[in-house]
Amino acid sequence: MTFQPPAPLLPPQRILMGPGPSDVPASVLQAMARPIVGHLDPFFLRVMDESRDMLREVLGTTNTLTFPMSGTGSAGMETCIVNLVEPGDRVLVAVHGVFGGRMAEVARRAGAEVVTSESSWGRAVDVDALRAAAGGEAFDLVCVVHAETSTGVLQPLAPLRALADDLGALLVVDAVTSLAGVAINLDEQGVDAVYSGTQKCLSCPPGLAPVSFSPRAVERLERRKTPVQSWYLDLSLIARYWGGERAYHHTAPIQMIYALHESLRLVLTEGLAARQARHERVGAALCAGLQALGLKPLVPPEERLPMLTTVAVPDGVDEAAVRRKLLTTLNLEIGGGLGPMKGRAWRIGTMGSSATIANVLLCLEGLRAALSLGASDAAAAALAAYAE
């Protein structure tokens, strides 16, 4: 039998309000369709330099070692850990969701002695408990998730910086969901190493992992006694490609970096402060509308992410069936819960280009219909919160 190739792809046009990816602007998709050039072409080297400069601006840093890794956000996590950890190093990890636990596992696989402190899912890290877990001993790294995608919690970084100082440690931060959505300000916050992803508030397709290392982190990298565990993620090699030497390491994902360049350009054209304010307003509108429907956001307001809201599923409701109905009737995607929240929560994203009041109103009406709720003032509550 002769194999018949499938028909050309015709993806549906979804409205993405899950935990990522977010909707991608047309100009970003168009950037990916621009002519490919070589990864050492003078034009592409200029694109690299401009992308790196814009990324520094969005991160709030002057760090020399700042660029996107070829890979998703998890590759960024691995990059930070394997470059900063040598066998026997001591790593303290704050776990208050899926991704803190993942950081701990990556550190173990890199040969670290890992100590964790578990905080309640849906709440910020209990810094006193984390300090107690450290037991007054020295550590090489303190690791925390800034915006925990599995729970919708925004973690203040200042208490973690203070703890890292007391322990003689570098501070490593997961900013996969927070980049371009809330203020990060690496230099001001004293973050030593950060990684992110492109598919959340940057509204770029998944496939790159921005990273940035402070001078202290670079010094630690340069003092290593053993080779970096991963050749592909070894920053001492990759930095030579992104730096003045332009030494070949691997063939860069050229079209993805075109997309990142355009995404960063759009962020800075809108303005960081304006973009962060938009996420705040849209997130507040969503929460107000959910509460008007009788649905309860799970994270206290003072710890809540503006761009990702976890909401409790009412008793007796099949949460997956509701998500399927939104997808089939409205082409609208929201996410389900993870870990202990599986089956008990929805995760609704208002990230990047998806953060619009029109999307919020559509989602609220979709939930009202899917849950067979009567008439409500959810739209009015959302619009009132948005206007404030």
pLDDT of residue 282: 98
Domain covering 272-387: architecture: Alpha-Beta Complex (3.90)
| CATH 3.40.630.30 is the classification of domain 26-268 | no
**Angle at CA of residue 144, ends 226 and 203, nearest 5°:** 100
pLDDT of residue 237: 96
pLDDT of residue 230: 97
pLDDT of residue 374: 87
pLDDT of residue 112: 98
**Residues 275, 279, 280, 285: what is their CA dihedral angle, to the nearest 10 degrees?**
140
pLDDT of residue 232: 97
Per domain, the residue ranges of the chain are 26-268, 272-387
pLDDT of residue 129: 97
| Residue stretches of the chain with pLDDT short of 70 | none
pLDDT of residue 244: 86
pLDDT tens profile 38-59: 999 999 999 999 999 999 999 9
